[in-house]
Structure formats: C-alpha cells, structure tokens
Chain A
Amino acid sequence: MELVKKIGFVLLGLFIILNWGLIMSGIIRKIIARLGMRRGIKVFQPYINLIKNYSIRSQISHGVMFYLGPVFRLSGGIGIFLFMPLIHGSELWSNFSFTGDLILIAYFAFFGMLGMALGAGEGGHPYSAIGISRGLAQFTAIELPLTLAIISIAIQYNTLSISEIVAAQQGGIQNWTLVTNPFATVAAMISFLGAMGHSPFSVVMAPQEIPIGPPTEYHGTFLGILQTNRAILHVIEAVLYMNLFFGGATNWGILILKSFLVYFWSVFVGMVFPRFRVDQSIPWLLKLPVLIGIIAIALLII
C-alpha cells in the first residue's frame, strides 16, 4: 500500500514535471523569438509537436539498438527524476531518492546519453556519430567544473545526500550555497550552460553543419520519446541545480519559479554568446571554470 501510494505520487510528479517542461520550453522559445524581433512559435507548440510525432504511423527502424536507444534515453531522463527529491520536507515528493545520493544522479545522467549514442549509432548516419563524438568530448570538459563544485559542496555540507544539502540551505537566502559558496555555484552554473546544450556549447546539434546532431535519423514515435525526455530532463536538471545551490524548494510554486530562472540563465547566456567549436570549448572549460572550482575547494580546505 505504501508502495502504491509512493508510485502514485511519483507518477504525479512526473506528470507535473513533463508538462512544466513542455510549457517552459515553449515560453523560452517565445522569449528568444521576441528578443530576436520575431513572433516566434506558440507557447503550446511543443505539445503540438509531441502529439504529432506520437501520431505518425510510418516509422522506420535500423535495428534493435536503434529501437532501444530512445528507451535508454528516456529511462535516463526519468531515472534522474526518480532519484531526485523534489520538494524539501516532503517525504512523498522525494521520489526514490532514498536509494542513492548525488553521485547516483551524476552518474545516471550517462545512462541516457549512452542509449542515445548507441541508438543513433546504429542508424548508420555519420552525422549522428559526429554529433555524439562532439557531445561526449565536450561533456568531459563540462563535467569537470561540476565535479569540483559537487566536491566543494560535499565538503561544505559534509554530505552527499541531496535532501540534506537542501535542508542545510533552509532559513533564508543567506544560507543558500549561492551565498555561502559562490565559487562553487559559479563553476557549476558554467557547467550547466554546457549541459543544456545551448549556445555557446551547442555544437553537438550544430544546425548549420549537422542537421540536428545525434537524433538525425529519428522521427515519429522515437523522436517523440526523445522530445519527452528533453522536456523532463531540462526541468529536472534545473531542479538539481536549484537543490544544490539555490536553496531547493519547499513547494511546487517555488520549484517552478526557481527551475525556470535557472533554465533561463542558460538560454540568456546562449543568446549573448556565439558558438564555440569543440576544440575551443574544451580548453575554455578547462581553464576558467576549473580554476573557479579549484578555488571553491581550496577556500574550504583552508
């Protein structure tokens, strides 16, 4: 009974996150368009896209792994969601976060990526492989500042449990990691830019050279699944950063607000800066952000 109730709340949370993810991406795209003096899409356009894709009946497959790729991908996204505590202080909205801590989430992120890579790989399209190779390469550099930041806050709070980290930040903005450990926050937020795949780190999908990157070969239901995943993933990653650095959320309203702001940060930067090439982005990421991350740790050791 307990379990059924838990699963019920988990599914409910997933539903909320998915919808918020779709709406958020619509809003963001609208904002981008407006800033670019265009009218842009409808706010509900992502919903339309999703339904359209799920309805397409002419689908092709290149093989088993091509088929399984999206499943892996979506599992990855939902998995992160499952291991993430959403609302501070609420046992029911903490999902399955009792099975693992921050490290689990950090590593489970790879699960989806791997599935994507393999699925796209079997598609046999070189663009997919190129996209993946770029994505992975850049990813290694993106992870480094984040790792430094994670270690820094782990030292700071002496825990790896997300719930406990959130708990430690309660009681006002002065307790947020943003304030108590600004360097770690900065390093992590730079890393977040890369994780979101927006400009200047958008070379994975690079529309000019590689039409939409790894998912090149996917359409129909497969593409729908990937889009579903993206909606969930964007929100849940923002939630992760929110939990770690911005005091978490005590209710759904705060969660939605904070996740929007965190996500918007990445879009905002993307609008201002041009795109990096991979061999430019990696050294860049390994210099300043890593330095900041090191400072974040060094300060705590001292």
Chain B
Amino acid sequence: MIYSIIVLILSLIMLVMALVAIHHKSLQIAVIASGIISLFASVVYIFLAAPDVAITEASIGSALTVIIFFYVLNKIRHSDAKE
C-alpha cells in the first residue's frame, strides 16, 4: 500500500514534469524536466523489481541523454547570443 502511494506520487510528478517539458518556454527547463521523468521512472523501476532497468535508465536514459541535450542546447544558445 505504501509502495502504491509512493509510486502514485512519483507518477504524478512525472506527469507534471511531462507537461512542463512539453509546454514550458525555456528549453533548459524542458530538458531538465525530461531528465527528471527518466530519473523518477528509474525509481519506479526499482519498485517494479527491475534493478537492471533502473540502473540503465538512470545512467543512460536520464544522465547521458540530458548531457547530450545540453551540449547541443548550449551550442545553439551560444550562437544565438553571438548574433
């Protein structure tokens, strides 16, 4: 029961983050929000008895993806700033 509540809360946060990621004007925030979704998902995976997936999602789905996003975003902002 307690797990369910935790998972529910996590899920709600993920949904909110999804809305943020899609609709927020700032791209950085959107990227971060999507990272949070992944991260929380990996927590949920733990609850779903999937530690392998959890680790992978956290390291690849969340961390690496966000980093790549930021690299590109950074470069784009950079060139925007110059103009």
Do A and B come into direct contact in the complex, CB within 8 Å? no
